[in-house]
Amino acid sequence: MSGRAASIADPVRVADAPGVGLPARILDTPHRRYNPLLDEWVLVSADRTSRPWQGSRDALVRDERPPFDPECYLCPGNDRAGGAVNPEYEKTFVFTNDFAALHPDSTTERASDGMLVAEGERGTCRVLCYSRRHDLSLGALALDELRGVVDVWAEQTTELGVAYQWVQVFENRGAAMGASNPHPHGQIWAGSALPRDAVREDAGQREHRARTGSSLLLDYARKELGGPRVVAENEDWLVIVPFWAAWPFETIVIPRHRASRIADLARPARDRLAATLADLIGRYDNLFDVEFPYSMGWHQAPFSGRSVDHWQLHGHFFPPLLRSATIRKFMVGYELLAETQRDITPEAAADRLRSVSISRTEGSATPAR
């Protein structure tokens, strides 16, 4: 990795950022911002970034992984933890999780005892290995390999959508985010019910469509174009630190044209999505000169049988790092008991991500762009 390590000692004043469109008397002091996708508020307290820190610091580990690890249960040809043997796969490999959180033969029966209500959840959990190489990551894949991952996301979503209402494509990257294996992989869970955040995003987008006749996220993308929260853009994609971002360097990835699911994307849009993800993950990795931990995932229209004209495909990246590679944001105390609070403005976060090198991470099979 070749980008400079950043600190958060010099936050950008929101009043100095062009295109914000809201009064500095609010945005340059502690204030709340509204998230129309989830119908919730976020408290922004940018003056807290200089406070003394004697709390937890994560150990900085430079993880030098070999291309193949004979002990890795995701590498090709190796035994998995559940006893199965992986094929000698060359590119992507999808299998049902040996320790799945959901099962296809579960009941969907609902039972109640007064205010106590429970219902069965039917579903499946799959693992998607991005590459046979143990030493790579999603952002370090060659662009044609990353494009292949996009195609698998689309194929798996379409296949699982036949049987399940919600399909969640996601990745937990790094031990800090609970990843149990460093081999480059993500997951695809599908379930019969619509999860909490899916319900809230569905309602937010449906309400906006009913009120305005247009898409909430497409309207939002048009409002952000050329503004201080944009990290990267091309003719098909926009990467933004959302106005309502909860995590320090959170981003949302939005297609600039109508698409409800990944399968709706035409070939050029899929090509540019691969390039967009490589760009974004490269910026993340070079921000603090470390393989940036994150949880990321795609929110696609549910397979509910109802109209999904209000739904716009989008991806969320939720990274926990705050000040450096060893200091993270903790969602505790006030955040758990009241509402989310952040210590760096979205405008300052976007400025840092824009400023950082976009050279590809070590192990990349393609040259820096």
Task: Give the closest residue to 351 by CA, choosing from 30, 16, 24.
Answer: 16
How many of the other CB atoms lie within 10 Å of CB of 71? Answer: 8
- Nearest-Å Rg of the Cα atoms of the chain is 21
Task: Give the closest residue to 146 by CA, choosing from 280, 236, 241.
Answer: 280
Q: How far apart are the first and last CA of the chain?
A: 14
Place of tokens 């619509």: 194
Cα–Cα distance for residue pair 22/244, rounded to 1 Å: 14
Cα–Cα distance for residue pair 354/282, rounded to 1 Å: 11
CB within 8 Å of 206: residues ≥ 6 apart: 310
Task: Please say whether the beta carbons of 305 and 326 come within 8 A.
Answer: no
CB within 8 Å of 240: residues ≥ 6 apart: 221, 224, 229, 230, 231, 251, 252, 254, 350
Strands 40-44 and 340-342: parallel
Query: Which residues are identified as catalytic?
Result: 185
**Which tokens go with 358?**
């976009």
